[in-house]
Amino acid sequence: MIDARTAPYGALLLRVVSGALFIAHALTKLLVFTLPGTVKFFDAIGFPGWLAYVAFALELVGGVLLIIGLCVRPAAALLGIELLVIATVHWHNGWVFTSKGGGWEYPILWAAAMFALALMGSGAWAIGPLKKKSA
């Protein structure tokens, strides 16, 4: 049974913490590895280098959208898909993320959390979805 009084705050907690983590990952690509370095990494693991820019933008913009509670369902769904792709990079390393090269457990858990958020919606203290204004 879902407690309707507290569930919106659970979604808020998941939304804000996940948003902060996505922003941190985006900024790591920008400030630590640099975007050209991230492009080289993507090339080295078999992805087109230009996808590094897509991943950076998705994580930065998606993280902000989650925190402010705007377009949460589509943002969480797109981030969940990104995390499934990330899991494929770690698949051959095994299950546990502490394995050399990182396993697939963490990105799959985070993907599931994003899909759960996409199903739940934004929760408390959210700006909400973008809606078309009626004429």
Task: Please check whether residue 55 lies inside any domain of the structure.
Answer: yes
pLDDT beyond 80 at 134: no
Task: Please check whether residue 112 lies inside any domain of the structure.
Answer: yes
Query: Higher pLDDT residue, 90 or 11?
Result: 11
Task: Please check whether residue 1 lies inside any domain of the structure.
Answer: no
Contact between residue 65 and residue 77 where contact means Cβ atoms under 8 Å apart? no
Residues 28-62 pLDDT 10s: 999 999 999 999 999 999 999 999 999 999 999 99
pLDDT beyond 60 at 91: yes
Residues 95-133 pLDDT 10s: 887 888 888 999 999 999 999 999 999 999 999 776 666
When mean pLDDT is compared across 27-31, 77-81, 89-93, 130-134, the lowest value belongs to 130-134
Q: By C-alpha distance, which of 104, 63, 55, 56 is closest to 84?
A: 104
- The domain of 42 spans 8-120
Contact between residue 35 and residue 18 where contact means Cβ atoms under 8 Å apart? no
The average pLDDT across 75-100 equals 91
Number of domains present in the structure of the chain: 1
Task: Please check whether residue 133 lies inside any domain of the structure.
Answer: no
The whole-angstrom separation of Cα 51 and Cα 54 is 5
